Structure 1
Amino acid sequence: EVVRQYKLGLARHVNEHTGRPLSRATQTYFLVALRSLLRYWAMQGLDVLAPDRVELGKAPSRSLKFLDGDQLRRLLDAPDINDLRGLRDRALMETFFSTGLRLSELARLDRDHINLRTREFGVIGKGRKPRIVFLSDAATNWLGRYLQARQDRWKPLFVRMKGKPDLAPGGPGMRMSTRSIERLVGKYVRLAGLGVKATPHTLRHSFATDLLSNGADLRAVQEMLGHANLNTTQIYTHVTNPQLRAAHRKFHSGNRE
């Protein structure tokens, strides 16, 4: 009964900033977090409701909010990594899943933004709000292989492989567009035979769901996502939050390959 009332409260809750109810995906995040809490209490020997009894509800049939572990693995394994294009595509999707970046944020990345040694970097998100994101073992590996294979000095991290080369300093015209990245993800969704509609934003949802389902703190995940409604201490791009680093390191499945 308590869980039912909680789910009802989520469904009726209205965001005080936007005046809108919680999205289905956000409600799912809260329920996944509740499952994690129940699982923790059970491990401590408390007599609590079985986590699986908390039903997450069905996602709208018109779209898939996140991919499960098998779907993610098939998608990430889809590129042919025997050439530079395939290495780029694998690195790009691994970066999406490791960081939870928005499409526009990932498209804006430059090579000098990425630090493979510390495996973290700063981004400026919506509302010009800075945050720190983290690279998993898998993302670090594939980004390293991709960058090592590149023989150019272009500044953008993810560059196009078609068309005339940009001769301007730094090659700004070589940057992949957001539309190109959307098409890239869609291509591999089809090649992997997932049979669902999945976009770069699906990978962002999958990032959050992966962390939450493995026990990460909801507030830490929201902070990593850079949600605008967070009422927390501002993070600056040059400062590492050790609690966020620990949460990503401990709970992201890409760190356990």
Structure 2
Amino acid sequence: MSELYNAKEAFLKYLDSIRGYSPLTIRSYNDAIDEMIRHAEIEIHNGDILLNLMPLRLKIASLKAKTIAAKLSAIRSFIKYLRDNGTSVELRGDESIKIPKTLPKPITHEQISHALQYAEPQAALAITLLYTMGLRISELTHLRLQDMGEGWSRVRGKGSKERDIPIIESISAMVLAYQRTNPSREYIFEAKGEKLSENSLRYTIIKAFAKVGLKVTPHQLRHTYATELLNNGARIADVSELLGHASMSTTQIYTKLGNALKMDHYRQSHPLCHPHEDSK
């Protein structure tokens, strides 16, 4: 199994240096993959891998559903990494575990503004586009110059579905300014005539926030976009369309987040929530 252990070490380095995962998350991935290697049925022939997870699933069946799902998610990420790097992996016993949806974790406008003050031009533009358009990182990667019209931008989302998103004038000006110093042929973000990869843009964004001591992923900027719109009175149907959700039920999670934030603000602001202060 030395091949798998070597591949695991390369995968963990990728999570650290490219994806910017925290040491705690990387350790949990390491533990999950080690469990897989110890307990799953694994056959390796001429570099091809046959992997049966059922023995592992029986071993961890007594754990909480959320814990099992996290372990399987880490293993799936590792398998995807192997396949992306040319290893053939046949996977068995990989049925999904249903767990309750958790609320996304947006960040504040002030935190984003602080990061932008110290960000390099490419990172600043990428962060601003994600925050003002609610894009997925894959959509940002595929954003083309010809997609940026006057007041609107055409975005290609999941399943090649297209949607139009408003663009404010200052953002269009920011794109033009970036293009003057970083001219490209087709896509907003290119290097040596080639479209930048998702991993390159993701790393650029994560590094920009790390400069100011924050751990922020591109998807958190999408969460923040949706939360800000809903908290400031936007209709959920409009937000759902802007995000490119196939169903409005997917957007409902942001309304729950808005309610949670309102409760926090209420508890912090209302005098009856701080009875000890009245007695001072």
**TM-score normalized by the length of structure 1:** 0.54
Conserved? CA contact 1:66–1:203, under 8 Å: yes
- Count the aligned residue pairs: 154
Q: CA deviation at 1:153?
A: 4.8
Tell me the alpha carbon deviations over residues 20-56 of structure 1, each in whole angstroms, 9 at most, x when there is no partner.
Answer: 677333xxxxxxxxxxxxxxxxxxxxxxxxxxxxxxx
Give the structure 2 partner of residue 207 of structure 1: 225
RMSD of equivalent CA atoms: 2.4
Verify: 1:109 aligned to 2:143, yes or no. Answer: yes
Deviation at residue 134 of structure 1 after TM alignment: 1.9
> Percent identity at matched positions?
29
User: 1:189 corresponds to which residue?
Assistant: 209
Q: 1:120 aligns with which of 137, 149, 152?
A: 152
Match runs of 1:6-21 below 5 Å: none
Cα pair 2:126 2:205 within 8 Å, conserved: no
Letter in 2 for 1:94: T
Q: 1:24 corresponds to which letter in structure 2?
A: T
Residue ranges of structure 2 left out of the alignment (5+ in a row): 1-96, 250-280
Structure 2 residue 56 is the aligned partner of structure 1 residue 24: no
Q: 2:137 matched to 1:97? A: no
Report the CA distance between 1:212 and its aligned residue: 1.2
Aligned to 2:116: 76
**1:227-246 → structure 2 map (5 Å cutoff):** 227-230=245-248
Higher strand share: 2
Q: 1:131 to 1:153 in 2, by over 3 A?
A: closer
Q: Which amino acid aligns with 2:211?
A: L
Classify 1:213/1:186 alpha carbon distance in 2 versus 1 (closer, same or farther; 3 Å). same
Cα distance in 1 for residues equivalent to 2:233 and 2:184? 41
Partner Cα distance (1:75, 1:221) in 2: 25
Deviation of the 1:137 alpha carbon: 4.1
Residue aligning to 2:188: 157
Give the superposition deviation at 1:201. Answer: 0.4
CA contact (8 A) 2:229 2:239 kept: yes
State the alpha-carbon separation in 1 of the partners of residues 210 and 106 from structure 2: 16
Q: Conserved in 1, the CA contact under 8 Å of 2:144 and 2:187?
A: yes
Using the alignment, how far apart are the partners of 1:153 and 1:72 within structure 2?
A: 26
Letter in 2 for 1:140: S
3-state DSSP class of the match of 1:123? strand
The structure, 1 or 2, with the larger RCO (C-alpha pairs under 8 Å, 6+ apart) is: 1
Q: Which amino acid aligns with 1:154?
A: R
Q: Which runs of 5+ in 1 are unaligned?
A: 1-18, 26-58, 60-64, 80-85, 166-170, 232-257
SS of the residue 1:24 aligns to: coil
Residue 222 in structure 1 maps to residue 222 in structure 2: no
Q: Is the 8 A contact 2:123 2:208 kept in 1?
A: no
> CA, structure 1 residues 20+134, in 2 after alignment: closer, same or farther (shift >3 Å)?
farther
Q: Which amino acid aligns with 1:99?
A: M
Q: Provide runs of 4+ in structure 1 moved above 4 Å.
A: 19-22
Mapped partners of 2:146, 2:106: distance in 1? 30
